[in-house]
Structure 1
Amino acid sequence: MDGAQPEAYRPGYELAAEQILQLITEARLQPGDRMPTEHELASRVGTSRTVVREAIKILSAIGRVNVQKGRGLYVADGEGMLGSSRWGATFLPTDLDHVYMLFEFRRVQETAASRLAAARATPAELRAIETAAQLCEQGHLTAQVALFDRGDDDFHLGIAAASHNPFLVASVREARRLQRQSSTIGMNGAIGSHAAEAIAEHDAIYQAIRDGDAEAAAVAAGVHLDKTLDDYRREIQRRVFGE
């Protein structure tokens, strides 16, 4: 691949969610404060009410917005269903049992996301997933850890976006944030010995999603997560126990 890498496609509702969070920050709104209406938000971020509605679903799922039927939108306290503060309170990145449970959780959510993506991915979303896989491969071939990580993130989040389920998008993003935290502490951010296999596994997932084979996509995602966990275990044993 030559020249600058194109940015991975991101759904409009995801971009709108970020803009709404920025508006909350700029207006210095606090938990409990009333927010603008959907119509006003759509006008401010320059998109449709439908897109804003989907963005609000994501923000509600991650505990940033409280939707009160008949009353409007309010800034939440961060303790929503997928609120980061709640996850952070129970997850210790140095606790190996928790790390393994996180992999277990990722396996559940990402096999589901891959299955749905095979049925729902648009051509643009397929291109974004393919581009991310190529970026990840380039990072591996050139030994650029940051590039590999960026491609890996774009790949998994691209699949979640293609599931068209905002709850999966939010949970995949948060689980990967925690995963990066544990990898930084446990593996010093290294790519690990599984990188070459991961490239082929990404391709298998992408091909299944592109072909609309939901079951093959789910199986390929499960294999990828299982092998990634095996690599993590081996690396931890090598670094901590000298095995």
Structure 2
Amino acid sequence: MAPTTPDPQDGPYRPGYELVAEQLLAYVAEHDLRPGDRLPTEKGLAELLGATRNVTREAVKVLAAIGRLSVRKGAGIFVAAAGDPTDQQLVHYQPTDMEHVLMLLDYRRLIEAETARRAATLATPIEVRAVRDHAARTVEASRAGDVTGFGAADAAFHDAVGLAAHNVFLQSGVTNARRFAGQSDVLLFHGDVPGSLETAGAQHVAIAEAIAAGDPDRASALMIEHVDTTRHQFERRIRDRVFNIPGRPQAPDQRFSPLREAGA
């Protein structure tokens, strides 16, 4: 299971800790480990994966930071404990596996379309104002090239739509999707932002206006379009990453992460 560093001529460089992080998650899945199960020591993991201890340590740190592993001083490395029973079924989610990420986006398409539909029917005037305000903030952030500000406004927008749907299970579903999407964002894109800020902001505003107008069919359709745009941007970004297509604009102030957006 030794991680390999690709030849730059064969494709884009991937840091060793990223490859080892992938292997660690695969190890958890292959051994059907569950939250609370102990992993081998750092030294043991390094030997199992054919990696150096320094690289293994960095991989463990990254996975701990995104909530997949728990490092307890003096006790060891564990599969992170889940916050609720449904997480037990998702502990083997592979954030760098294309099939898994597309399943996540498919889930988001279903759940957020219904969330937008219900918000258009049930939102109070105060909730409508919040949805509109957060949508407008994403547009402002996109024009300023403020990726961090956009991410915060984006999360607030989707949270506001979830709140306006008046269903705690839908709210929870949107929140969980964001959490898993964030894991993929960290491991695949390292903070890169491979999608249009302006496009996402404009879509948020259109969804907000459909909710404000009390048009559930339009709100749902626009949310589906929004998620489908995210999916297309993700797939294109992965193709660029795999095949190292030159000439693509990469300016961070013009792009957003579809995976962060997927959960936002």
Matched positions, count: 164
Higher relative contact order (Cα pairs below 8 Å, separated by 6+ residues): 2
Q: Is the 8 A contact 1:119 1:209 kept in 2?
A: yes
Structure 1 residues 38-97: Cα deviation after superposition (integer angstroms, max 9, x where no partner): xxxxxxxxxxxxxxxxxxxxxxxxxxxxxxxxxxxxxxx8442xx33442x131101111
The reply on whether 1:174 has 2:176 as its aligned counterpart is yes
Q: Is the 8 A contact 1:194 1:228 kept in 2?
A: no
Tell me which residue corresponds to 1:150: 152
Give distance in 2, aligned partners of 1:97 and 1:201: 26
Tell me which residue corresponds to 1:73: none
How far does residue 139 in structure 1 lie from its aligned partner after superposition?
2.0
Give distance in 2, aligned partners of 1:84 and 1:129: 28
How far does residue 177 in structure 1 lie from its aligned partner after superposition?
1.2
Tell me which residue corresponds to 2:118: 116
Give distance in 2, aligned partners of 1:134 and 1:227: 19
User: Gapped runs of 5+ residues in structure 2?
Assistant: 1-81, 246-264
1:93 to 92, 95, 100: 95
Tell me which residue corresponds to 1:50: none
Q: Is the 8 A contact 1:194 1:227 kept in 2?
A: no
2:213 to 211, 224, 243: 211
Tell me which residue corresponds to 1:84: 87
How far does residue 217 in structure 1 lie from its aligned partner after superposition?
0.3
Give distance in 2, aligned partners of 1:78 and 1:150: 23
The reply on whether 1:197 has 2:199 as its aligned counterpart is yes
Structure 1 residues 212-239: Cα deviation after superposition (integer angstroms, max 9, x where no partner): 0000000000000000110111112112
Give distance in 2, aligned partners of 1:139 and 1:86: 36
Q: Is the 8 A contact 1:205 1:217 kept in 2?
A: yes
The reply on whether 1:132 has 2:134 as its aligned counterpart is yes
User: Gapped runs of 5+ residues in structure 1?
Assistant: 1-76
User: TM-score, length-normalised on structure 2?
Assistant: 0.59
Give distance in 2, aligned partners of 1:140 and 1:191: 12
How far does residue 132 in structure 1 lie from its aligned partner after superposition?
1.2
How far does residue 189 in structure 1 lie from its aligned partner after superposition?
2.4
Q: Is the 8 A contact 2:109 2:224 kept in 1?
A: yes
Structure 1 residues 134 and 90, CA gap change in structure 2 (3 angstroms): same
Structure 1 counterpart of 2:139, which letter? E
Give distance in 2, aligned partners of 1:238 and 1:78: 35
* Paired residue secondary structure (2:176): helix
Q: Is the 8 A contact 1:79 1:86 kept in 2?
A: no
Structure 2 counterpart of 1:125, which letter? E
Give distance in 1, aligned partners of 2:83 and 2:174: 17
Percent sequence identity is: 34
Q: Is the 8 A contact 2:132 2:209 kept in 1?
A: no
Give distance in 2, aligned partners of 1:225 and 1:206: 15
Structure 2 counterpart of 1:169, which letter? Q
2:107 to 105, 108, 125: 105
